[in-house]
Amino acid sequence: MAEQKKLLRALAGETQDVPPVWMMRQAGRYLPEYRATRAEAGDFLSLCYNPELAAEVTLQPIRRYGFDAAILFADILLLPQALGAKVWFVTGEGPRLSTITNQSDFNALGGVEAIHETLSPIYETLKILKSELPKETTLIGFAGAPWTVATYMIAGRGTPDQGPAHALKDTDRATFQQLIDLITDGTIEYLAKQIEAGAEVVKIFDSWAGSLKGQDFHDFALLPAKKIIQALNARYPNVPIIAFPREAGPAYEGFAKAVGAQCLAIDTKVDLEWAAKVLQPDSCVQGNLDPKLMVEGGDKLISETKRIKEALGNGPHIFNLGHGITPDADPANVDVMLKALRG
């Protein structure tokens, strides 16, 4: 039997001398070849819904750097669109959506059954990737976590403090809970189809989990993740899941076990010695190089890469950034990081 892929071995709990590596937002504007394909596609959403071009940009960082995993090129805001929200991107500013501020806005959304009609090109992208990826490269599918997706659906845009979503949660709990439940159910069906189309691992991005505290963190970050993972585990017991409750702080402790994830992605604020001692016994840990170092480069990029490799080297580890690589990153710094990591 062929040796198992490096990333899958880490997710199965194996400690490796050199960890598998990939980068959040590895297909993106810091790469000239991405900018060229994006120009060919027109706007960002057209690129997401064009299977040939979306597969092409997914493959670009694999060709250039030989990462151990490819992540589907898509966006967490495609599911809201498939549920009937209006979604568009303003260049230089970010996403815009129709807002959900009350029960009647919620009632205007469609049901979960209808999502696949909109999302079928995404499944097509995965099928292309499955046949085109090098045999050692793992294919990762993904979705946003319900809370993070809800913050955009409620506010109609990105917000620094997720204020509108907190306001709906605190003033109209019934509508808020219905929205969380709808996104949860939609995410289960969306990820199930991604797995059927070829995703070997799925990642759940809860980028704004850090703004939920105490009972709210339990109810709206932990419980929805657990529900999604339990449903997927029941249908696809061999597909590992990476959870990313970004900036959860002390609430990272016990999270992987509580939700049933095989891997916990950590942000740049998580202390490495703490992660090794408290998180790694429960699951594989993914992270957590500061994306700023991909802009700055230099000796610090090398020393931090080695420090992370060493600190998490006694347990299962996937090397990654603590958040997405930014458009101002220097592509040459990725080579510097890979050399420091792989030798």
Determine if 9 is a binding residue for ligand CP3 (CB under 6 A).
Answer: no
> Which CB sits closer to ligand CP3, 71 or 276?
71
d(CA 155, CA 187) in angstroms, rounded, equals 20
Return the number of other C-beta atoms located less than 10 Å from residue 63's C-beta.
Answer: 11
* Contacts with ligand CP3, 90-109, as mask; x by CB under 6 A: ----xx--------------
Q: Counting contacts by CB under 6 A, is residue 76 touching ligand CP3?
A: yes
Asked if the bond preceding 288 is cis, omega within 30° of 0, the reply is yes
Closest approach of Cβ 163 to ligand CP3, in Å?
Answer: 16
Residues between 154 and 193 that touch ligand CP3 (CB under 6 A)? 158
Segment interacting with ligand CP3, rule: CB under 6 A, options 73-81, 126-134, 184-192, 257-265:
73-81
- Identity of the residue numbered 286: Q
Contact 266, 280 (CB under 8 A): no
Residue 324 is a binding residue for ligand CP3 (CB under 6 A): yes
Examine residue 65 and tell whether it contacts ligand CP3 (CB under 6 A): no
**In this structure, what are the phi and psi dihedrals at residue 317, rounded to the nearest 5 degrees?**
-140, 140
Residue 154 or 311 with smaller CB distance to ligand CP3: 154
# residues contacting ligand CP3 (CB under 6 A): 22
Residue 25, annotated as binding a ligand: yes
Q: State the Cα torsion 320-22-143-242 to the nearest 10°.
A: -60
Q: Which stretch binds ligand CP3 (CB under 6 A): 75-83, 263-271, 286-294, 305-313?
A: 75-83
CA dist., res. 137 & res. 5, Å (int):
7
Asked if residue 172 belongs to a known ligand binding site, the reply is no
Question: Given candidates 28, 141, 164, 210, which one binds ligand CP3 under the rule CB under 6 A?
Answer: 28
Q: Which residues of 146-170 are buried (b: 16+ CB within 10 A; e: fewer)?
A: bbbbbbbbbbbeebeebebbbebbe
Binding mask 127-146 for ligand CP3 (x = CB under 6 A): ---------------x-x--
CB of 38 or CB of 317, closer to ligand CP3: 38
Q: Is 283 in the site for ligand CP3 (CB under 6 A)?
A: no
Nearer to ligand CP3, 142 or 147 (CB): 142
CA distance 90 to 304: 35
Rounded to an integer, what distance in angstroms lies between the CA atom of residue 246 and that of residue 111?
28
| Residue 28 labeled ligand binder | yes
Residue 75, interface with ligand CP3 (CB under 6 A)? yes
Nearby residues of 252 by Cβ (< 8 Å), 6 or more positions away: 245, 264, 266, 270, 275, 278, 279
Q: Which is nearer to ligand CP3, 247 or 282 (CB)?
A: 247
User: Residue 142 in 3-state DSSP?
Assistant: strand
Among 72-80, 162-170, 301-309, 334-342, which window interacts with ligand CP3 (CB under 6 A)? 72-80
Helix (H, G, I), strand (E, B) or coil at 21: strand
Binders in 202-221 for ligand CP3, by CB under 6 A: 205, 207
Is residue 64 part of an annotated ligand binding site? no
Amino acid identity at 159? T
15, 18, 25, 159: residue in contact with ligand CP3 (rule CB under 6 A): 25
Tell me if 228 contacts ligand CP3 by CB under 6 A: no
Question: Are the C-beta atoms of 20 and 286 separated by less than 8 Å?
Answer: no
Q: Which residues are catalytic?
A: 25, 29, 38, 75, 152
Contact between 146 and 154 under an 8 Å Cβ cutoff? The reply is no
Chain centroid offset of residue 175 CA: 26
CA torsion sign, 249 to 250 to 254 to 258?
A: negative
Does position 73 interact with ligand CP3 (CB under 6 A)? The reply is yes
Can residue 122 be called a binding residue for ligand CP3 (CB under 6 A)? no
Amino acid at 1: M
List of residues contacting ligand CP3 (CB under 6 A):
24-29, 38, 44, 71, 73-77, 94-95, 142, 144, 158, 205, 207, 324
**Residues contributing to the annotated binding site for substrate:** 25-29, 75, 152, 207, 323
